[in-house]
Chain A
Amino acid sequence: MKKVALMVLTGVMALSLAACGSTSTNNASSADSGSSGSRTYFINPKSIGPAYWAAAQKGAEQAASDLNVKVVYNAPTEADSSKQINMIQDMLTRKVDGIGVSPNDAKAVGPIFKKALGQNVKIVTWDSDAPDSDRQYYVAPDTDKAVGELLAKTIGDEIGGNGKVAFMVAGLGSENQIAKSDAAKAYFEANYPDIEVVTTVSSDDDQQKAYANAQNLIKTYPDLRGIIGFAGGEPPAAAEVVEQAIKDGTLKQGQIAITGIAVPSVVKNYIKNGTIKTDIIWDPGKLAYATVYVLDQLAQGKEITDGMDIPTVGTVKVDGQNVFIGTLQVTQDNVDSFGF
């Protein structure tokens, strides 16, 4: 008897949670739920949890209600490609009209994209690309190379093209991190031969580890001049450590320049304090919005053209199969103007 009661309890829980989940996606998809069943897209970030992807979710849901389509936004809790692919597979079973994927591993999504193409499902990659796959378009702020070079240029200008620079990444094995840091390194070699990249430390997406890494960097390289953080968690950790060191008197104000990719709301205080002068970002919401928009255009058989105007996102650059929405530079002057 007790067991039966337990079973019922589980069932009720699962149901109610399931209901929560599906109603929230319904609410998000459109006010007019009657016609929203027409087209469904699965938007798949690398993982669920980080602020960056949460901001993107808002954009995807905004697009869903503007375009009157249904969007399911989901991913595993960790950036793991086998779990991600399992989830894409599940969504193909659900017969979505298009998938927007930010692949954790560019090669691993090859087979599943092939399968999706066979089912006539539109495929767009966003934020990270899978170049040699069957994806139709890649939506990004810019190429990894361009972003890496922009970061390198920013720090190079700030420290006057001379000194030691350290890289902080979220994962040594993550492809977009490798591409960006390689580009930055190459840019230094070509344009700032006096800048030496001393090391690359990885936080494995763990905020405390990023913080400890930054502490150890400052300790190990007393003459360090710059830090580039290649993922959302790294610049705030570096800035926090540098601010504390300045307060303790072990570092001089302005000795270490920090730049990187970070959501403005997270680094707002550091930018206002001047610890971070320039932060590179793009609006993840607009990126997701553009992804849904491109998918919807494809599903309706419309063309994607260079210079086309996407509502709320603006004019985009289309280069072959790449759609670029452009990057933003966050500085003291404009830090309060971002809503994410």
Chain B
Amino acid sequence: MKRIANIQEAPIILFTLLVIVLFSSLSSGFFQADNAKLILDQNITSLIVAIGMTMVILLGGMDLSVGSVLALTATAVGVFLNHGMHPWIAALLGVCIGVLCGAVNGYFIAIRKIPDIIVTLATMYIFRGIAVGISGGTWMTNFPNGFRYFGQGELLGLSFPLIVAIVLIAFFIYLMKFTRSGRRIYAIGGNGSAAKLAGISVARTKFTVYVWSGMLVGIAAVIFASKVGSVQASTAGSNLSFEVMAAVLIGGGSIFGGVGTVAGTMIGVLFMGIIKNGLIITKISPFWVDATTGFLIILAIIINTLQRIRQNKRKEGDLL
């Protein structure tokens, strides 16, 4: 029992369960297999983007540009498709554009050593501008049927995007837990100068993480475009960065870096998704939806902090 309470994610898991029980008692439609599927389906984009954001936050950075990268990639894919390009090639090129955006972020952050938030705030403006520019102000829509597979197709009885997400999550959990590059990220986030002294190339790791993050946003963008069926460059993903950042931090991450797990983040994303879905299913007044969402976010973070204080007290005495 004590061991369970010591798992970093324990409080947020408990809180999520509590919210689920609450919604289930309010509406019979909530606690059902197909609603669970719906929630997963609605949050695939956020889940994938959040993996990258977790790594970035672990390094002590943050990425405000994910929404704009999403818009740029999705728009570009739309442009390719409307020019009659094969869906698979268009999707692949889309992911490449995501990687490129990530590399641009990584270049300024890791090599030019400009703080993360400044670079990503700047690229947030720039990528969004480019996205709307190449869209010509119109919507990307009327995608060919072949393209729909990425967002709506099925493989072995499971939805294709869900499989993609699960594979990515599994891969990155493995990467972060068991490989040297994963541990490097924790090392740098935990104590940058110590990591440097230990011979870890901070710049290289940072650059790689931003490229990973860009790639993940690229994949998410393809799924997004295929699933939603239309892309508006000026607004696509406009709230994504804040939402995903909140999910990482709810899932136990620390904005100062070094703390957090991919699994925790995934719970954070699902927590937010459950709230959004549950508030509509329980037929709460539409005017209350945002207010309640914000309140629950704050509550989740309070619970998280209490846990951390409890742990710290045991370890380091009363300093914090």
Binding site for B on A (CB under 8 A): 47-51, 53-55, 57, 77, 172, 198-202, 204-208, 211-213, 215-217, 219-220, 233, 236-237, 240, 244, 247, 250, 263, 265-266, 268-269
Contact = CB atoms under 8 A, between A and B. Distances in A.
A269 B142 contact: yes
Interface size class of B (residues with CB under 8 A): 35 or more
B137 A213 contact: no
A206 B35 CA distance: 22
Interface in B126-171: 128, 132, 136-139, 141-142, 152
Contacts of B228: 207-208, 211, 237, 240
B227 interface: yes
Contacts of A266: 139, 141-142, 230
B137 A49 contact: yes
Contact of A219 (B38, B138, B287): B38
A206 B132 contact: no
Interface string B271-289: 0000011001101001100
18 contacts: A49-B233, A49-B234, A50-B235, A55-B138, A199-B280, A200-B286, A206-B239, A212-B276, A213-B280, A216-B280, A220-B280, A236-B230, A237-B228, A237-B230, A240-B230, A265-B142, A266-B139, A268-B142
B181 interface: no
Contacts of A236: 141, 229-230
**Max chain B C-beta neighbours (<10 A), residue from A53, A57, A220, A247:** A220
Interface string B33-66: 0110010011001000000000000000000000
Top 6 A-B pairs, shortest CB-CB distance: A49-B234, A54-B137, A240-B229, A216-B280, A51-B139, A212-B42
Contacts of B41: 215
Contacts of A237: 228-230
Contacts of B128: 77
Contacts of B137: 48-51, 53-54, 57
B281 A54 contact: no
Contacts of A265: 138-139, 141-142
A211 B45 CA distance: 13
A200 B287 CA distance: 9
A250 B35 CA distance: 12
**Max chain A C-beta neighbours (<10 A), residue from B34, B132, B232:** B232
A207 B226 CA distance: 12
A244 B283 contact: no
A227 to B, nearest CB: 14
A207 B230 contact: yes
Given A48-B137, A212-B276, A217-B280, A172 B287 contact: yes
A101 B132 CA distance: 22
B238 to A, nearest CB: 6
B19 to A, nearest CB: 16
Given A199-B283, A213-B280, A247-B152, 16 more contacts: A48-B234, A49-B137, A49-B233, A54-B137, A205-B232, A206-B235, A207-B232, A211-B228, A215-B42, A216-B38, A219-B35, A220-B280, A236-B141, A240-B229, A250-B34, A265-B142
Contacts of B42: 212, 215
A219 B230 CA distance: 22
A50 B286 contact: no
Contacts of B35: 219
B291 to A, nearest CB: 12
B217 to A, nearest CB: 14
**Max chain A C-beta neighbours (<10 A), residue from B42, B139, B276, B277:** B139
A215 to B, nearest CB: 6
Contacts of A57: 137
Contacts of A250: 34
A206 B231 CA distance: 10
B229 A49 contact: no
B29 A220 contact: yes
B268 interface: no
A172 B236 CA distance: 19
A208 B230 CA distance: 9
**Max chain B C-beta neighbours (<10 A), residue from A50, A57, A213, A250:** A50
A15 B237 CA distance: 30
B45 A220 contact: no
Nearest to A55: B138
B210 interface: no
Contact of B232 (A212, A233, A268): A233
B186 interface: no
